[in-house]
Structure 1
Amino acid sequence: MGEQGLQEQRPDDAVRHLAPPELWDELVDEAVGEVRVIHRHTKFAAPARFAVLSSSSSGNSSVILHQTSSGTRATLIDCGLSPKRTNELLETLGASIDCIDRIVMTHFDSDHFNSSWVSALPDHARFVVHRGHRGVAGRRGALTRRTDVFDDTFELAHGVRGRAILMKHDDLGASAFRFDFAMPGGRTRSLGYATDIGAPSQALARTLMGVDVLAIESNYCPVLQRESDRPIYLKRRITGGSGHLSNGQCASLVRAIGPRRAVVLLHLSRDCNTPEAALLEHAPELEAGLYDLVVASPDAATEPIPLTAD
């Protein structure tokens, strides 16, 4: 079926467009006896943790675990693994596929979007998609009445504000995100997420400046990439400014962002990178104790990092 047919099945009004988030504080009008009392109610984020389920060219998916009054809820960032494998990895973190409330998409490359999620998405859950990816979402079957479309800012969950910046990656780009979690006392905690972003940019550094936890791609070692037997066109795609970040580019961007607590390295190439090569670029910062560093694995989930803890 062509794209026109898909669009006919999914008219524009079938998609929910996310409005920019309101201020954290909202006025609440309550009746107390015969007196109207207006007080200020603040939206605080539920306690939250972040983990990478798996990250490689074979499949990418991460999770924010929200500890709510009704139990553990989950926000996936990308769904490049099969639902079965995702559930297995979530279970190692004390969650399951039924906990998923939404899947936030960076982009729709096959290692970030497994099409079986179109039918496997829990009944209550929704896809969350950048407006610039509506076309490809429709072609992949993910633009339905259970899809939220956002522009630059949106409310991800109760007390969690999302901000996106569309980066240059292949033809349609990829969304990088900053998630801010509202805390008591006017404080916030923040998570930055950037993968498949082509090249470092000042705009991205400004958007993610000073996040508490930063998950960022460190895809390839230039020497291993150059000496690999990959075809020339693939090397050019990866290294040409609209593909992936090298280890050195990643480290340079991390320095510009200045994360406060932890860095998680994503999307290491199996063929053209090693954890040791990626870690070496961060040696000065690690020696100075500027942040903790974790390398995501294709085979197991990372240990969850608290996002809302003091």
Structure 2
Amino acid sequence: MQFASLGSGSEGNATLIQSGKTLLLLDCGFSLKGLSERLKRLALTPADITAVLVTHEHADHIRGVGPLTRKYGTAAYMSAGTASAKTLGKIPHTTVIAAGEILKIGSVDIEVHSVPHDAREPTQFIFNACGRRLGVLTDLGSIPDELAQRYSDLDALLLEANHDPEMLARGSYPASLKQRVGGYWGHLSNQQSAQLIEQINVGRLQHLVLAHISQKNNSQAHVMAAFAGLPAAYHLLQLADQNTGFDWLPIT
């Protein structure tokens, strides 16, 4: 199994997970044209995608989902709450999923988990293939204990580190938006992400990628500083970029 990002941040998110002939797209926050251009970097086209999974209905995660599914007939998987969003438009082939399910798409088994985020019925996923486990955990304002346990034993983790609390507090966002981003239903801070890493089996991790990093309320220096006290994880750190994401990372 391997995974890559086509871009991560408030301007658009899309992650690829591949095992054998199965190529999954997690979210599509870019236009269909933008998706096609980003896929070229990995020598892929939209027609290569087996299915798209959608975490929630915010624009930076669904912008290209409707056009992709309508043009290519790509199967889509999402919660009932997400599917009810009018902004998605018509999706020809939708499978409604729910937290607690284990999906099987091609050669990949996928655990569905609910998360606290200000969306209709947001989900995040753990991907299982070839005896390896990849967790993706972004777009949530807190990590309940049960969820932390689910993500405690992984071979790779793509984890949100959205903001630095002091930068957010001093920034230009209106007070209501600051409260939303930093609240229970918002986004994870660097410190919250680091706290999760303290709880999990870091010794098993091959890759630890921090994603959905705010361009206004965070910086690479702040992210790295938050993890400086975790030497076992610090050497694994990679940051997902808004423009280029990151190239294929194999989970061996």
Report the TM-score, using the length of structure 2 for normalisation.
0.91
Q: What is the match of residue 304 of structure 1?
A: 248
Q: What is the match of residue 64 of structure 1?
A: 17
Aligned AA (2:17): I
Q: Residue 175 of structure 1 contacts residue 194 of structure 1 at CA under 8 Å; is this kept in 2?
A: no
Per-residue deviation, 1:248: 0.2
Q: How does 1:1-310 map to 2 (within 5 A)?
A: 48-68=1-21, 73-114=22-63, 116-121=64-69, 122-136=71-85, 139-141=86-88, 144-151=91-98, 152-181=100-129, 183=130, 188-259=131-202, 260-285=205-230, 287-288=231-232, 292-307=236-251, 309=252
1:28-53 per-position Cα deviation (integer Å, ceiling 9, x unaligned): xxxxxxxxxxxxxxxxxxxx210111
Q: What is the alpha-carbon distance in structure 2 between the residues aligned to residue 119 and residue 52 of structure 1?
A: 20
Q: What is the alpha-carbon distance in structure 1 between the residues aligned to residue 92 and residue 34 of structure 2?
A: 26
Q: What is the alpha-carbon distance in structure 2 between the residues aligned to residue 211 and residue 91 of structure 1?
A: 29
More deviation in 264-273 or 172-181?
172-181
1:224-260 per-position Cα deviation (integer Å, ceiling 9, x unaligned): 1111121000000111111001000011012223342
RMSD over aligned Cα atoms: 1.9
1:166-207 per-position Cα deviation (integer Å, ceiling 9, x unaligned): 1111142421211111x3xxxx10010111111121111111
Higher strand proportion: 1
Aligned AA (1:153): E
Per-residue deviation, 1:155: 2.6
More deviation in 141-150 or 83-92?
141-150
Change (3 A) 1:78 1:63: same
Aligned AA (2:96): V
1:45-91 per-position Cα deviation (integer Å, ceiling 9, x unaligned): xxx210111011111111113333xxxx5211110011112122211
Q: What is the alpha-carbon distance in structure 2 between the residues aligned to residue 102 and residue 169 of structure 1?
A: 24
Per-residue deviation, 1:147: 0.6
Change (3 A) 1:49 1:167: same
Aligned length: 248
Superposition misfits of 4+ residues, deviation over 6 angstroms = none
Change (3 A) 1:124 1:169: same
Q: What is the alpha-carbon distance in structure 2 between the residues aligned to residue 290 and residue 265 of structure 1?
A: 11
Gaps of 5+ in 1: 1-47
Aligned AA (1:196): D
Q: What is the alpha-carbon distance in structure 1 between the residues aligned to residue 201 and residue 74 of structure 2?
A: 34
Q: What is the alpha-carbon distance in structure 2 between the residues aligned to residue 208 and residue 172 of structure 1?
A: 23
Gaps of 5+ in 2: none
